[in-house]
Structure formats: C-alpha cells, structure tokens
Amino acid sequence: CTLILTEGDSAKALAVAGLGVIGRDKYGVFPLRGKVLNVREASYKQTVDNKEIQAILKIIGLEPRKAYDGVKGLRYGSIMVMTDQDLDGSHIKGLLINLVHHWWPGLLQTRGFMKEFVTPIVKCVKGRR
C-alpha cells in the first residue's frame, strides 16, 4: 500500500479524484498542513510533540528511533509525495526526505519506499481560451 502525502487539501482532492478511477484499495491520502518540521534542527521533544509528524508516524506505523531495514510491520509499504512544482513544494519534499533519512535511513535503502508524484506546472487548452 502507498500513503500519498499531499500539499494541502486542494492536492488531496486531486489525489482522491484520481483514486476514484484506479481504486482506493492500495492507497491512503493525508494532506499536510504547510511545511513539515526540520528534524535536524529540532530537539527530540520538539519532533515527537509536533502534531504533523505524530500523525504521519501513526498513519504509517513508524516508531521514533527504531531501526527499520524494510517495510515489514508498517501499515504502508511506500510514501508518495504529491506537492506543487514550486519552491515550497520542493522544500516540503526535502523536509520529508530529511525526516525519513534522519530517523529511519534504512527505509530510504528500501527500493521504492519514497516516491514522487510529479504534478503539472502548466495547463494547456485547445483554442483561444
């Protein structure tokens, strides 16, 4: 199963609409509320007390400071990051990779654990619109 982390509710709506076509059986969607905490610059207490990080850990089934060498025992086998193709979106992606790398580097060694959904930058229409 894949957890789709979206940049806010509008991206969540896009993800949910797509799941209506391909099916929800193997996907979950969680909308992020802004930028995730930079765990390398935060204390352990600040990190575990952060509501956004608490939610992500609970949804996936991750435990702080536990070593993982694979996805066995987790609720989701991969994370798909779905953010805008702008500076904020890139920053959010980096912060999520940073979170996983800092606490669970073994998961980044697991092929396909972190995925990116590339959203369109522009919308094209036919005609004079």
Q: Can you tell me the distance from the alpha carbon of 127 to that of 1, in angstroms, rounded to the nearest whole number? A: 40
Q: Is 86 a catalytic residue?
A: yes
Q: Is 84 a catalytic residue?
A: yes
User: How many beta carbons lie within 10 A of that of residue 20, not counting itself?
Assistant: 9
- In this structure, are residues 11 and 88 in contact, taking their beta carbons and an 8 Å threshold? no
| Catalytic annotation, pick one of 63, 69, 88, 116 | 88
| Catalytic annotation, pick one of 9, 69, 84, 116 | 84
Which DSSP helix (H) or strand (E) runs through 16?
helix 8-22
Q: Is 25 a catalytic residue?
A: no
Which amino acids are annotated catalytic? 7, 84, 86, 88
